[in-house]
Amino acid sequence: MSPQPTGQEASVVVPEAPVTSGDTPIAKAAEAAVGVRGAAKREAWPRPNRCRIMTIANQKGGVGKTTTAVNLAASLSQHGIRVLVIDLDPQGNASTALDVDHHVGVDSVYHVLVEELPMTEVVREVEGMPGLYCAPASIDLAGAEIELVPLVARENRLMRAIEALDTATFDYVLIDCPPSLGLLTVNALAAAEEVLIPIQCEYYALEGLEQLLRTVEMVRGHLNPKLRISTILLTMYDGRTRLATQVAEDVRSHFGDVVLQTIIPRSVRVSEAPSYGQSVITYDPASSGAVAYAEAARELAYRAVTS
Ligand SMILES: Nc1ncnc2c1ncn2[C@@H]1O[C@H](COP(=O)(O)OP(=O)(O)OP(=O)(O)O)[C@@H](O)[C@H]1O
Ligand SMILES: [Mg+2]
């Protein structure tokens, strides 16, 4: 069956790739020809006046939180922007994708939250990616949800750790949350000014979103009045299905301008990249997923200037 055309497609930046395989040699050659690969051609993107602290949250699992954190961060850093990724998920997927050591025993975000180790002690520069830094998560962090409970100001521990960090060193801090609305995610929401919600273009995507929005409201009301949902990113778009298009339209009509124009397509390269300890931005820069994430990052950077 051929893809169903929709009116939506005209108004969004959907990388061509999801309709066919997308990561074909021809697509790569075409994208390479327009300069995707050339570091020399990379323009400097605007840096925000002060550090943007963004929490990437959605309690639904596997919607692309980590992939989004890692690839937006990698793209931004390639354009002269200094980015810290804080891995707040005990799974440590962002640390794996950025190839930052996070085995048990390594000082990590767990020690920052529970033992008040300064954040600077755990931040590592990502090899081969100047300007990109990661505060890794180890599996210890799984215990933090419980260990934080009796501690003073348990919801504000990440906020305090980030406050003590010299945020002038970074243009962006991206916090990758676990798939839950527990204390770790609440800490991330309390520490940020912006929430970025990745939404997977599939049937159940909007289920549970209400609960996330309520949690954001609760944190805004009680802990962090500056918090706002600034960005929604549609992920894993499969242009062959009408359903994906329908979900994208629903999200857009519900959330309006906070939804980035760029939609991230499903791309095999995106899912392969972490096993090489890389973002797709470096693993296969001309792939449809890399091109889309670079475009989403560019939107994010320019929106900061105009909003
Ligand atoms: N655009 C994409 N195309 C293909 N695969 C993708 C894409 N985005 C993410 N994936 C894959 O989907 C899976 C889930 O993505 P990811 O780990 O980023 O989600 P998550 O929301 O962080 O998950 P969790 O809730 O477990 O933390 C991963 O295997 C990832 O490689
Ligand atoms: Mg994740």
Report CA(48)–ligand 2 centroid distance (Å).
26
When pLDDT is cut at 50, 70 and 90, the band that residue 6 belongs to is very low
Over the stretch 113-159, which tens digit does the pLDDT of each residue have?
A: 999 999 999 999 999 999 999 999 999 999 999 999 998 899 999 99
Query: Looking at the domain assignment, is residue 4 inside a domain?
Result: no
Give the DSSP H or E segment for 134.
strand 132-135
Residue 73 one-letter amino acid: A
Over the stretch 196-237, which tens digit does the pLDDT of each residue have?
A: 999 999 888 888 899 999 999 999 999 999 999 999 999 999
Residue 207: its pLDDT value, please?
84
CB of 131 sitting under 6 A from ligand 1: no
Nearest residue (by CA) to ligand 1, atom 8, is: 64
Query: Looking at the domain assignment, is residue 2 inside a domain?
Result: no
Supply φ then ψ for residue 10, to 5 degrees: -70, -30
Query: Looking at the domain assignment, is residue 279 inside a domain?
Result: yes
Say if residues 246 and 285 touch (Cβ distance below 8 Å).
no
- Distance from C-alpha of 85 to C-alpha of 223, rounded to nearest angstrom: 22
Residue 4: its pLDDT value, please?
38
- Distance from C-alpha of 170 to C-alpha of 190, rounded to nearest angstrom: 19
Whose tokens are 């949690």? That residue is 215
CB of 235 sitting under 6 A from ligand 1: yes
CATH of the domain at 198: 3.40.50.300
Report CA(137)–ligand 2 centroid distance (Å).
11
Strand 83-87 to strand 52-56: parallel, antiparallel, or no bridges (unpaired)? Answer: unpaired
When pLDDT is cut at 50, 70 and 90, the band that residue 9 belongs to is very low
CB within 8 Å of 214: residues ≥ 6 apart: none
DSSP-assigned states of every residue in 223-263: T-TT-EEEEEEEEEE-TT-HHHHHHHHHHHHHHGGGEEEEE
Give the DSSP H or E segment for 98.
none
Residue 166: its pLDDT value, please?
87
* Radius of gyration, alpha carbons of the chain: 19
Average pLDDT, the chain: 88
Nearest residue (by CA) to ligand 1, atom 29, is: 271
Q: What are the Cα distances from residue 81, in Å, to 47, 71, 101, 279? A: 6, 13, 23, 16
Query: Looking at the domain assignment, is residue 22 inside a domain?
Result: no
Residue 187: its pLDDT value, please?
98
Which ligand 1 atom is at minimum distance from the Cα of 235? 1
Query: Looking at the domain assignment, is residue 35 inside a domain?
Result: no
Over the stretch 158-190, which tens digit does the pLDDT of each residue have?
A: 999 999 998 889 999 999 999 999 999 999 999
Over the stretch 244-278, which tens digit does the pLDDT of each residue have?
A: 998 999 999 999 999 999 999 999 999 999 999 99
Query: Looking at the domain assignment, is residue 32 inside a domain?
Result: no
Query: Looking at the domain assignment, is residue 167 inside a domain?
Result: yes
**pTM assigned to the model:** 0.89
Domain count, the chain: 1
Query: Looking at the domain assignment, is residue 28 inside a domain?
Result: no
Burial class, 34, CB count within 10 angstroms (exposed 0-12 / middle 13-18 / buried 19+):
exposed
- The encoded tokens of residue 239 equal 């242009």
For residue 70, the enclosing domain spans 10-17+45-306
Over the stretch 56-80, which tens digit does the pLDDT of each residue have?
A: 999 999 999 999 999 999 999 999 9
Which one, of 196, 197, 192, 181, lies nearest residue 226 by Cα?
192
H and E: helices and strands count for the chain: 13, 8
Residue 256: its pLDDT value, please?
94
